[in-house]
């Protein structure tokens, strides 16, 4: 099945609402095709939530949003058993996690105990309540937003939680041209809460999305390109600026989303350029800087970029 055409239609619908942020949109679409979860980090007001709301509308799938707050309980995410006095039995009241597209808004505003309520769902695509395991709808995708961790009132996500995300996408402030376009749209009456009036139309359904994902799986990966991915991942483990590097799961993730990106860009084979494009969003949340390196002002992105630049590109 041809992938780039429906993806182009998805992008066109999203661009009715989101100005600029082409790289972010491309990465989110690739993660969707790779059947992965995405963590979007950026300051308030850069359209992180709006992007996912718009994407959800373009997919004919069930959608739910959870606003994460300090007092949110795990049962508010997963659901709970409620006693029915009429039947003298407990009945399962399913939480918002039982959906296709879940937006976990400001996920790092809640403590680790509630963040952990998503762990099983993201990895196993199931949810255990009162000792009984319930499968989640298919497909199931988590798109989480968070503010930078140095913002007041945030809780860093545990490493196990972070590793469940296929990608961590950093959403920067828009370019001056894109920001001016945002102002012009609002001046003309743009209302982001009213996506229907903006003409955003559904493009895919669950069956079509599954077909696209099967096509992505068939993307050709040359042995030398796979070896390139392996070398990047292994060099992060040997880097003196990192406490620990990327795991084999990181390499698998880089391959999976790389194949999806190749299809988004209209090719049926993975290239080293695809790998280089995605190294930061796939690896930045899976490595840990040494304290002394962090004190010197270095960032994870800088260290990963150095690692990638140091690996010879296969020809």
pLDDT in tens, 188-239: 888 777 777 777 888 888 899 999 999 999 999 999 999 999 999 999 999 9
Section 71-85 average pLDDT: 81
Q: Tokens 């959608």 belong to which residue? A: 63
Task: Give every CB contact of residue 148 below 8 A, 6+ residues apart in sequence.
Answer: 41, 42, 43, 154
* Predicted pLDDT of residue 151: 60
Q: Per-residue pLDDT for 22 more than 60?
A: yes
Per-range mean pLDDT, top range of 100-114, 155-169, 244-258: 244-258
Residue pLDDT, tens place only, 131-176:
778 899 999 999 999 887 656 667 778 787 888 899 999 999 988 9
CA 70 to CA 42: how far, in whole Å?
19
Q: Which residue has the higher pLDDT, 91 or 52?
A: 52
Q: Per-residue pLDDT for 92 more than 80?
A: no
Q: Per-residue pLDDT for 116 more than 90?
A: no
Query: The pTM is what?
Result: 0.90
Domains defined for the chain, CATH in brackets: 4-187 (3.40.50.300), 219-310 (1.10.8.80)
CA 256 to CA 33: how far, in whole Å?
9
* Predicted pLDDT of residue 150: 57
Per-range mean pLDDT, top range of 67-76, 85-94, 228-237, 242-251: 228-237
């Amino acid at each position: 099945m041809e992938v780039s055409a429906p993806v182009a239609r998805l992008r066109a619908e999203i661009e009715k609402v989101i100005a600029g942020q082409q790289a972010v949109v491309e990465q989110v679409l690739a993660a969707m095709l790779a059947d992965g979860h995405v963590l979007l980090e950026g300051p308030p007001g850069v359209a992180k939530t709006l992007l996912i709301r718009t994407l959800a509308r373009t997919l004919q799938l069930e959608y739910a949003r959870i606003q994460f707050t300090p007092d949110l309980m795990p049962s508010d995410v997963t659901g709970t058993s409620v006693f029915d006095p009429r039947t003298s039995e407990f009945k399962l009241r399913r939480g918002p996690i039982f959906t296709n597209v879940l937006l976990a808004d400001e996920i790092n505003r809640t403590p680790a105990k509630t963040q952990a309520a998503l762990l099983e769902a993201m990895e196993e695509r199931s949810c255990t309540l009162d000792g009984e395991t319930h499968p989640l709808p298919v497909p199931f995708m988590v798109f989480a937003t968070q503010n930078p961790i140095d913002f007041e009132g945030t809780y860093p996500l545990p490493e196990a939680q972070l590793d469940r995300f296929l990608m961590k996408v950093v959403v920067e402030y828009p370019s001056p041209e894109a920001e001016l376009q945002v102002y012009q749209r609002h001046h003309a009456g743009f209302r982001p809460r009213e996506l229907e009036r903006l003409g955003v139309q559904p493009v895919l359904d669950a069956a079509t999305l599954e077909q696209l994902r099967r096509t992505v799986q068939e993307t050709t990966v040359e042995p030398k390109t796979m070896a390139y991915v392996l070398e990047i991942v292994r060099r992060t483990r040997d880097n003196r600026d990192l406490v620990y590097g990327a795991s084999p799961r990181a390499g698998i993730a880089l391959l999976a989303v790389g194949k999806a990106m190749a299809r988004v860009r209209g090719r049926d084979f993975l290239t080293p350029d695809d790998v280089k494009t995605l190294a930061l969003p796939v690896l930045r949340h899976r490595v840990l800087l040494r304290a002394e390196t962090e004190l010197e002002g270095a960032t994870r992105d800088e260290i990963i970029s150095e690692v990638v630049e140091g690996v010879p590109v296969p020809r």
